[in-house]
Amino acid sequence: MPITLTSDPIVSEAVVQEMLGIAGDEARLLINSASVKFKNYTGRLRIINGAVTEYQRGSGSSKFWLHATPITALTSVQIMSDGAVSETVTSYDYDAATGRFALHNRSIPLSEDENTLKVVYTAGWAAVSVPGDIMEGALELMRVEQDRRKGRAGVKSESMGGHSVTFQTGDLPESVAQAWDPYRFMI
């Protein structure tokens, strides 16, 4: 069964083939894996421009952050109560690049267990304009994964007193983490 590329890929198959010489199912598998790892590491909801409906719990504050940037269009901002819209908010400011949002003369009701804010918007980069450091981090991660599959990476051996210990690590390589750090949401 052929592997399908996700609808939110971090890099194109053509770039992976050109840069790493990998094509087909293996390329799609690596792209899907790197895309998920990017979103998990950064806390983002989107990579490629698309529709987002984001729910958040109320903090009692008028400020919050959206998790898919850059924001390309904003459709609605609504306060929810018991799962239904109780108010549509029309007075706010936001930074499209960072996702920082501020309601005017209004705060989001505090809630421990209910999503009290619903924002519908379009966000992410155009497929041809994903920042280069994000793509380079993804390609580096794919190189490491290829090497790991061949037994050449992710293995650390230590010898002491005639005993040898070998183990595999699963963290992001430091170079990838450094490339992706500017895109993390620290909320």
Express each pLDDT in 44-66 by its tens digit. Answer: 999 999 999 999 998 899 999 99
Of 67, 77, 79, the residue nearest 43 (C-alpha) = 67
Of 77, 93, 123, the one marking the end of a domain is 123
Same domain, 78 and 18: no
Same domain, 66 and 105: yes
Same domain, 57 and 100: yes
Residue 103 lies in a domain: yes
pTM over the 0.85 mark: no
Residue 1 lies in a domain: no
The tally of domains found in the chain comes to 2
Residue 24 lies in a domain: yes
Distance (Å, whole) CA 84 – CA 22: 48
Same domain, 97 and 60: yes
Residue 164 lies in a domain: yes
Same domain, 118 and 54: yes
Same domain, 56 and 104: yes
Does residue 26 register a pLDDT over 80?
Answer: yes
Of 123, 149, 168, the one marking the end of a domain is 123
Q: 111: domain range?
A: 50-123
pLDDT at residue 55 in the model? 94
Of 123, 145, 161, the one marking the end of a domain is 123
Residue 172 lies in a domain: yes
Same domain, 104 and 139: no
Same domain, 55 and 109: yes
Q: Would you give the DSSP letter of residue 97?
A: T
- pLDDT tens digits along 112-152: 878 899 999 999 999 889 999 999 999 999 999 988 887 76
Q: Would you give the DSSP letter of residue 69?
A: -
Sheet strand arrangement including 50-57: 50-57, 115-123, 71-81, 84-88
Strand partners, 166: 157
